[in-house]
Amino acid sequence: MNKPVYITDSNCITPLGFDVNSNWDALQKGQSGIQKHHNVGLLESFYASVISDDELNKAFEKIETQNRFTKLEKMLILAIKPLVEKNKVTERSVFIFSTTKGNISLLEDEKIAQQSAQLSVLAKKISRYFGFTTEPIVVSNACVSGILAVAVAKRMIQTGMYDNAFIAAGDTVSEFVLSGFNSFQAMSEAPCKPYDKERNGVTLGEAAAAVYVTSEVTELTKNSFRVLGDGAVNDANHISGPSRTGEGLFRSIESALKEAKIEKEKLGYISAHGTATLYNDEMEAIAFNRLGLQEVPVNSLKGYYGHTLGTSGLLETVLAMESSKRNQLIVSKGYQESGVTQPINIISENSETEISHFLKTASGFGGCNTAVVFEKIN
Question: What pLDDT, on the 0 to 100 scale, is given for residue 254?
Answer: 98
Question: What pLDDT, on the 0 to 100 scale, is given for residue 121?
Answer: 96
Q: How far apart are CA 36 and CA 74, in angstroms?
A: 24
Q: How far apart are CA 20 and CA 34, in angstroms?
A: 18
Q: How far apart are CA 148 and CA 146, in angstroms?
A: 6
Terminal alpha carbon distance of the chain: 23
Question: What pLDDT, on the 0 to 100 scale, is given for residue 173?
Answer: 95
Question: What pLDDT, on the 0 to 100 scale, is given for residue 1?
Answer: 52
Three-class secondary structure of residue 285 per DSSP: helix
Residues of the chain with CATH 3.40.47.10: 6-219, 224-377
What's domain 6-219's superfamily in CATH? Thiolase/Chalcone synthase (3.40.47.10)
Question: What pLDDT, on the 0 to 100 scale, is given for residue 203?
Answer: 97
Architecture of domain 224-377: 3-Layer(aba) Sandwich (3.40)
Q: How far apart are CA 181 and CA 40, in angstroms?
A: 13
Q: List, in sequence order, every residue forming a beta bridge with 35; answer none if it has no partner.
A: 48
Question: What pLDDT, on the 0 to 100 scale, is given for residue 115?
Answer: 85
> Measured between alpha carbons, how far is residue 58 from residues 35, 64, 105 in Å?
21, 10, 22
Greatest C-alpha distance within the chain: 57
Output the tens digit of pLDDT for each of the chain's 378 residues: 579 999 999 999 999 999 999 999 999 999 999 999 987 777 789 999 999 999 999 999 999 887 889 999 999 999 999 999 999 999 999 999 999 999 999 988 877 878 889 999 999 999 999 999 999 999 999 999 999 999 999 999 999 999 999 999 999 999 888 988 888 788 999 999 999 999 999 999 999 999 999 999 999 988 899 999 999 999 988 887 888 999 999 999 999 999 999 999 999 999 999 999 999 999 999 999 999 999 999 999 999 999 999 999 999 999 999 999 999 999 999 999 999 999 999 999 999 999 999 999 999 999 999 999 999 998
Question: What pLDDT, on the 0 to 100 scale, is given for residue 113?
Answer: 74
The structure's pTM equals 0.97
